[in-house]
Amino acid sequence: MRAQAEPQARDPILLMKGITKVYPNGLVANSDVTFEVRKGEIHALVGENGAGKTTLMKVLFGLEKPDEGNIFIKGEEVRITSPNDAIRFGVGMVHQHFMLAPSLTVAENIVLGAEPGKGIWFDRKQAERMCRELGEKYGLPIDPAARIRDVPVGIRQRVEILKALMRGSDILVLDEPTAVLTPQETEELFEALKSLKKMGHTIIFISHKLREVKELSDRVTVMRSGKVVGTSDTSQVTVEEISRMMVGRDVVLRALRPKAADGPSEVRLLVKNVDVVRDGTHVLKDVSLQVRTGEILGVAGVEGNGQVELVEVITGLSSCDKGEIWICGQDATGKSPGEIRDMGLSHIPQDRMVLGVASRASISENLISTRYNKQPVSNGFSLDIKAISKLGQELISRFDIKASSAQQPVGTLSGGNIQKVVIAREFSTGPQVIIANQPTRGIDIGATESAHKYLVEATEIGTAVLLVSADLTEVMSLSNRLIVMYEGQVVAYFDEAQGLDEEEIGLYMLGLKRQEPDEVIASMMGRPVE
C-alpha cells in the first residue's frame, strides 16, 4: 500500500467497526475488522476465498450475528439482526447464488414482498409498469413478463439488482457478480453499475478478479485471513500490489499448459453422440468428444449449458439416454461410479461440500473414500488403521493441507484446504483420466496455483484431463484443446487453445455464433483414433 487514502470531506455512509465473527467450528472468519465506505463510491472488497469478505457482508446484511463490533449507517449506530433490518437501513444484497423463484415472472420476483394492488388482489399491470420504469431509470432494461427460468444468467442478476433497488437500497452489495457472466455480460453490468453510482448509489463490489476491480472501483479494501490488510484509492495501486496484499507474497499465475503431444496418441476418454433428456428437454444433445493421453481438453461455456450433465454422465452419477462412453478402451456406458473409478477415472466435483467430502468425517476418512476396500488401506474386509493414518499423514504433507492432524473433521478446514483434500484423494490413486469440474471455484490464489500445477503434472505422466470451468481465463490458459458448450451442445471446437480471442469465445458461449455440428465432429474426431 503506497499511502493510506486521505480522508475526504465526504462522510462515510457505512462504517463497520471492530467486527469479530467466529463460526461454531472455531473458524475465525472476521477478526477485529473495520471497514468504511463513502457515499457514492464503488468500493471493491477483495481477498482470497476464506479471507472473510462474504462473512463481513453477511454480518452487514443480518445473515450472521457478529460476536463483537458495531455497525454505523449514515453516522448512526444500527443493530441489524435480519435481512429485513438491513433492507430498512437501505442495504441491498445481490448474492452469489441468486435467490429468485424460477417459475415466477421477472416482475413478480422484483415486487415480491411489496406487491402493488388492493387488499388480496395483485395488480400485475401496475407491477410490470413499475418494473419496466425502474429498469429504464437505472439503465437495466428487462422484460417484466418473462419467466425467470427462461432468461439468461445476466438478466437474472439484473433482476436481483432491481429487486434491491425497488426496496430503496442506496448501499448495494454485489458478491462476486461476474463469476457467472460472459465477458459481454460483464461489460453491460459494469456500465449499469457506473450509472448507478452517478445517481448517487453506493456500491460494494466483492471480487477476486483484480482486473475488474481496477477497472470499476474507486477504492479498494483488501482482506486476508479474516483481517483487513489495508484500504486505498484504486488508482494509487497496481494489480500486482493488490495481489501481493491478498496473498502476502508475490504471485505469478502463469499459463502452464502441458506440451502438446506430437502425432497420434491414445484416446483415454471417448464420448460418442450422447443425449440426455430431462423433463422432456435435451440437456445434452449429440455430444461427442475425446481426450487423449497427456493433454487437457477444456470445456468452456456459461454455467448451466450441460456441463454438469456431461460430467455426471461420464462419471456414472447419472445415465445417458443415447450414446456411448469409453474409458481407456472399456465401455463405461451405464456403469456405476464405482465401476467407472475402477477403470481409472478420478473426478474433482464442482460442489465439493455436496459431492467431494463428508464434512463431519475426518481428513483421513475422506482421503480413503475411493480406496477403502483396496490394498494397503484394507485387505478387502477389515481396515488397516495404521496404513490409513500413514496415508493421511503422507497426503497431508505431500499436498500441503493445512490441518492440525489427520483426525480433524474436514468441515473445519478452509475452502482451499478442503479442495486440497479432494485433490489429494483424486490425484493419488494414479488415475488414467481426470474429470476436473470447476477445480478452482471459490478457492484462494495459492490453492488455485497448486491445483493447476497438479493438473499439469498429471498430464506429464500421461493422464488425460477434461477440464470444465466457467472461468474462461482458466480454461484458455490450461487447455491444449478447447470446446464450447451452449444449450447442451458442443458449438465450437478449437484444435489449439493457445492464442484464442476471449471475445470470440464469448460469442460462442452466448450462442451468437456456432460452428457447423458436422465440422465440429470432423475436426475433433477426425484425427486417427489410436
Partner 1 sequence: MRRNVGFELLRTGVAIAAALVIGFIVTSLVSESPVEAFGYFLKGPFTSIRRFGSFLEAAVPLTFTGLAVSLVFSAGQFNMGAEGQFFIGAVSATAAGILLDLPPVMHTIVCLAAGMIAGAIGGLIPGILKARWNASELVASLMLNYVFLKLGMYLITYHLRDPSAGALVSLPLKETSWLPQFTRNTKLHAGIFVMFLVVFLCYYFLYRTSRGYEARMTGQNISFARYSGVPVLTVMLLIQVLGGAVAGLGGAVEMLGIYRRFQWQTSPGYGFDGVIVAILARNNPLLVPVAAVFLAYLRIGADVMAMYADVSAEMVSIIQAVIILLVTAEAFLAGYRHRLTLKEVKQRASAS
**Min CB(141)–partner 1 separation in Å:** 40
**Min CB(420)–partner 1 separation in Å:** 16
Cell numbers placing 366: 475422506
Of 96 and 369, CB closest to partner 1: 369
**Min CB(414)–partner 1 separation in Å:** 15
**Min CB(385)–partner 1 separation in Å:** 7
Of 231 and 370, CB closest to partner 1: 370
Of 122 and 372, CB closest to partner 1: 372
Of 343 and 491, CB closest to partner 1: 343
Q: Give bridge partners of residue 271 from the DSSP assignment.
A: 289, 325
415 in Cβ contact with 295 (< 8 Å): no
SS3 (DSSP) at 454: helix
**Min CB(364)–partner 1 separation in Å:** 11
Of 435 and 484, CB closest to partner 1: 435
Residues 445 and 452: their CA atoms lie apart, in Å, by 10
71 in Cβ contact with 112 (< 8 Å): no
Residues 467 and 520: their CA atoms lie apart, in Å, by 18
Structure-derived torsion over alpha carbons of residues 377, 293, 509, 347, reported in degrees to the nearest 10: -10
**Min CB(506)–partner 1 separation in Å:** 32
**Min CB(227)–partner 1 separation in Å:** 11
**Min CB(28)–partner 1 separation in Å:** 5
Of 273 and 373, CB closest to partner 1: 373
Residues 400 and 407: their CA atoms lie apart, in Å, by 16
Of 25 and 281, CB closest to partner 1: 25
Element (H, E) at 199: none
Q: Which residues contact 292 (CB under 8 A, 6 or more apart)?
A: 261, 265, 266, 267, 268, 464
Of 128 and 312, CB closest to partner 1: 312
SS3 (DSSP) at 506: helix
State the pairing for strand pair 464-468/433-437.
Answer: parallel
CA distances in angstroms from 281 to 275, 349, 454, listed in the order given: 10, 24, 37
Which residues are at the interface with partner 1 (CB under 8 A)? 22, 24-26, 28, 31, 67, 315, 317, 336-342, 347, 349, 354-361, 365, 368-370, 372-373, 378, 380-383, 385, 407-409
Residues 413 and 443: their CA atoms lie apart, in Å, by 12
**Min CB(67)–partner 1 separation in Å:** 6
How many residues make up the chain in this entry? 530
Of 294 and 344, CB closest to partner 1: 344
Residues 11 and 75: their CA atoms lie apart, in Å, by 8
Print burial letters for 380-389: b (CB count within 10 Å at least 16), e (below 16): eeeeeeeebe
SS3 (DSSP) at 312: helix
**Min CB(269)–partner 1 separation in Å:** 17
Radius of gyration of the chain (CA): 24
Q: Which residues contact 478 (CB under 8 A, 6 or more apart)?
A: 255, 256, 257, 296, 298, 452, 455, 456, 467
**Min CB(476)–partner 1 separation in Å:** 28
For helices 445-460 and 415-427, give the axis angle rounded to 10 degrees: 10
Residues 145 and 151: their CA atoms lie apart, in Å, by 11
Burial (Cβ within 10 Å: 0-12, 13-18, ≥19) of residue 487? middle
